[in-house]
Amino acid sequence: MAAGASAKSGSGGGPPRGRDAMADEPIPVRADRGGTHLAQVGRNATADEPIPVRLSHLLRYCGVGAVVRGPDYLVTVKDTRTWTCGVEHQIQHVEQVRAVLGIDRTLRSPPVARIEDGRPTGRPIPAMRFPGWMRCARCGLLRYRPWRRASGAAPDPPRRPPGQSSVCADGDRPACPGRLEQAPWVLAHACGYLADVPWHRLAHAGSRHPDQRGCRADWEDPYLRVVAADRGYTVRCRRCGAFGPLPQRFPFGEGAWRQPWFPEPAGPLDEPAWVLEINDVRVHAPDTVTALVIPPESRIRRGTVVDRLFGSADQQAALRGARAGLQRKTVLRRIARDLRCAPDDVEEALAGIDRGYPLYGQSIAGGDLLRSEYRALVAAIPNLREDEDFVTAHHTEAWSALVGARDGAAGRIAGAVDRLIAVERLKEILVFKGFRRLGGETVTPPDLTRGSGWLPALELYGEGIFCTLREDRLRRWEADDAVRSRAQAFGDRLAGGPVRLPAPPQVSPRFLLLHTLAHLLIRALESDAGYPAASLKERIYSRTGGEPDQPPLAGILIHVAVADTEGSLGGLAQQAQPRRFLRLLTAAVEAAGWCSMDPVCGEREGHGPGLLNGAACHACALVPEPSCAYGNVLLDRAFVAGGADGSVPAFFGGGA
């Protein structure tokens, strides 16, 4: 085809707009509460295999705006405004969680599906295939959405075996045997925008010849190639001969959509976008927050008649609107049948709601998340029931007796721990607040516009181990000049470096100590107790105090939490038995004294992202990414076991 001619062309570098451009929608994403989400592709939903995605990943790395890899294609999940399927249910009794997290919208769990007879059933979450360009792995030829059925074209080809991609069959030779794969590059902007790479604009950006400047973008005939060059890649137009490099940065451009599924151009932006590979971590970073459900809300009896009636505004309205005797009896019988109880139970439940169920006048504590959880963990809860959402067993007295009977190194290590508590049952709320791109400050909400009244969230159940360190011993250790100076260096690097943590902590000697010790305990649990490190998570409670309303905190919670009401089997909470925990703690502290990468690991002043790690590497203190709340930075074994040169005193090496 001659330069400038096109069967369906446009003047800009962006994709065609309008109804025809979105003809291959939608891709439903389905979920299984047991841990598997599923996606199906195309107008003919039976033409492709489902894509499995873990339930908790849908609110993290596979959430709205993320690029998700399937066996044959890549997809991106659409925003929650397109979730016309609705949601599973509104998460009840989390007013305290919303208050401490500063959330003014309701929380709802995502749709759930199940596999029945080998087929997915349930409610879908829309997604779309992205990137829209496919590239021949052999000749580099680009095609725009070749899977679409063009107007008047032949029917779609039959279903391919899993993992097999279509053949190019159109390259520099009459029949190129290369296979088409989705182009592995996207255009991302710090404002949260994402789009296909404008390949036509890249090839013609430096054109000077009139024929090249007049070459028009074409969305049906393949004419662009991406080929490897001496440095990177080159984009070539085989119609007019124009070519240009694949740059790192490029203007987002008026032809680019704000999101791949959102057909509204972003317009020119002050800062250029970045051309990134799809597996680059900067393409999508979830912004999630978590909080524990603690008393009084954790003590609410779930599943009772009053609780079920409380969760149904329609049933309450029907009862309150039925005042006449016969009408009220009819409504009572209908609701009692729905709730599977007696009419008198419904009357009693409504009276309980009128008296203030579920809290009956108890105030909800907002404000300080860490302080609220810490206070709940260290306090003994009276009249505790096993079916509550926050169940603790205090072993502090037995721990103190065990410490008193120990001497030597084991006694010094054990003497540093003040409280020891088993968390036999907990519920964690995970909330997806949005996502970032390129590490920017802009958080794009899951509905893109902040117009909806809800956020996707999950209820995660599990158990854990909680311990605190002795405040008097911490105070003496923190007063050492070498300890303060080493911690100050970490704080300066975090403040002036490129790393941006979603919830930056108060960098202090005690935080670095607690954070490093938490990682060492996770690794010890993996090797000694048989727990995969990736299944364990940390919560660090650290504050130096000094103000009346800011008391000091020094605690570690190591816990497991899954999207299942059964949680885990109790094995983690059993590790809080004093003798077992002493072995665990001793192993963790001893592991801090040596690394297989020493002396390199122990003597470097800083390494890792932003030089925010001291004596810590993958061989000694780093854990899988899901386990760490701070991106595997702000770690240093020197605070636990002492500096390699002896300049920094070890916290666990001091006297009682």
pLDDT of res. 86: 55
- Quickly state the pLDDT bin for 43 (edges 50, 70, 90): very low
User: b/e string for 258-268 if b means 16 or more Cβ within 10 A?
Assistant: bbbbbeebbee
Asked if residue 81 lies in contact with residue 190, where contact means CB atoms within 8 angstroms, the answer is no
pLDDT of res. 644: 75
CA distances from 622 to 85, 467, 525 (A): 40, 21, 14
pLDDT of res. 157: 42
Residues 192 and 200: their CA atoms lie apart, in Å, by: 23
Residue 189 and residue 89 share a domain: yes
Domain annotation covers residue 547: yes
Whether 163 shows a pLDDT value over 50: the answer reads no
Asked if residue 146 lies in contact with residue 130, where contact means CB atoms within 8 angstroms, the answer is no
pLDDT of res. 324: 77
Whether 341 shows a pLDDT value over 60: the answer reads yes
Q: What residues form DSSP beta bridges with 286?
A: 435
- Quickly state the pLDDT bin for 558 (edges 50, 70, 90): very high
Domain annotation covers residue 231: yes
Range among 56-65, 366-375, 514-523 with highest mean pLDDT value = 514-523
Q: Could you tell me what percent of the chain has a pLDDT over 90?
A: 38
Residue 269 and residue 329 share a domain: no
Residue 193 and residue 66 share a domain: yes
Helix, strand, coil % in the chain, rounded to nearest 5:
30, 25, 50
Domain annotation covers residue 34: yes
Residue 331 and residue 408 share a domain: no
State the DSSP code for 47: G
- Quickly state the pLDDT bin for 27 (edges 50, 70, 90): very low
Whether 167 shows a pLDDT value over 50: the answer reads yes
Residue 504 or residue 157, greater confidence: 504
Residue 55 and residue 125 share a domain: yes
Whether 654 shows a pLDDT value over 70: the answer reads no
Domain annotation covers residue 217: yes
State the DSSP code for 371: H
Asked if residue 612 lies in contact with residue 600, where contact means CB atoms within 8 angstroms, the answer is no
Residue 584 or residue 35, greater confidence: 584
Residue 405 or residue 593, greater confidence: 593
- Quickly state the pLDDT bin for 67 (edges 50, 70, 90): very high
Separation of CA 642 from chain center: 34
- Quickly state the pLDDT bin for 204 (edges 50, 70, 90): confident
Domain annotation covers residue 635: yes
Asked if residue 553 lies in contact with residue 370, where contact means CB atoms within 8 angstroms, the answer is yes
Whether 655 shows a pLDDT value over 70: the answer reads no
Residue 579 or residue 551, greater confidence: 579
pLDDT of res. 265: 82
Mean pLDDT of 198-204: 89
Q: Could you tell me what percent of the chain has a pLDDT over 70?
A: 83
Residue 124 and residue 93 share a domain: yes
Crossing angle of helices 313-321 and 343-354, rounded to 10° = 100
Least confident of 241-250, 413-422, 586-595: 241-250
Domain that holds residue 348: 301-354
Residue 404 and residue 346 share a domain: no
Domain annotation covers residue 385: no
Domain annotation covers residue 155: no
Domain annotation covers residue 372: no
Number of domains in the chain: 3
Residues 287 and 437: their CA atoms lie apart, in Å, by: 10
Residue 305 and residue 272 share a domain: no
Q: How many CB atoms lie within 10 A of CB 483?
A: 24
Residue 325 and residue 229 share a domain: no
User: What is the tens place of the pLDDT at every residue in 217-264?
Assistant: 888 888 899 988 878 899 999 888 888 899 988 888 777 889 998 878
User: What is the tens place of the pLDDT at every residue in 526-557?
Assistant: 887 778 888 899 999 999 877 767 789 999 99
- Quickly state the pLDDT bin for 446 (edges 50, 70, 90): very high
Tokens in use for 597?
């990468």
Whether 169 shows a pLDDT value over 80: the answer reads no
pLDDT of res. 365: 57
State the DSSP code for 153: P
pLDDT of res. 39: 44
pLDDT of res. 114: 65
Residue 312 and residue 267 share a domain: no
User: What is the tens place of the pLDDT at every residue in 605-638?
Assistant: 788 888 999 999 999 999 998 899 998 999 999 9
Residue 575 or residue 450, greater confidence: 575
Mean pLDDT of 95-117: 83
Mean pLDDT of 429-451: 91
Asked if residue 65 lies in contact with residue 191, where contact means CB atoms within 8 angstroms, the answer is no
Whether 339 shows a pLDDT value over 50: the answer reads yes
Residues 517 and 416: their CA atoms lie apart, in Å, by: 12
pLDDT of res. 568: 64
Whether 19 shows a pLDDT value over 60: the answer reads no
Residue 408 and residue 350 share a domain: no
User: b/e string for 526-563 if b means 16 or more Cβ within 10 A?
Assistant: beebebebebbbbbbbbbbeeeeeeeebbbbbbbbbbb
Mean pLDDT of 25-45: 42
Whether 299 shows a pLDDT value over 80: the answer reads yes
The three-point CA angle 490-494-498 to 5° equals 140
pLDDT of res. 548: 66
Residue 150 or residue 254, greater confidence: 254
Average pLDDT of the residues of the chain: 82
Residue 320 and residue 242 share a domain: no
pLDDT of res. 320: 86
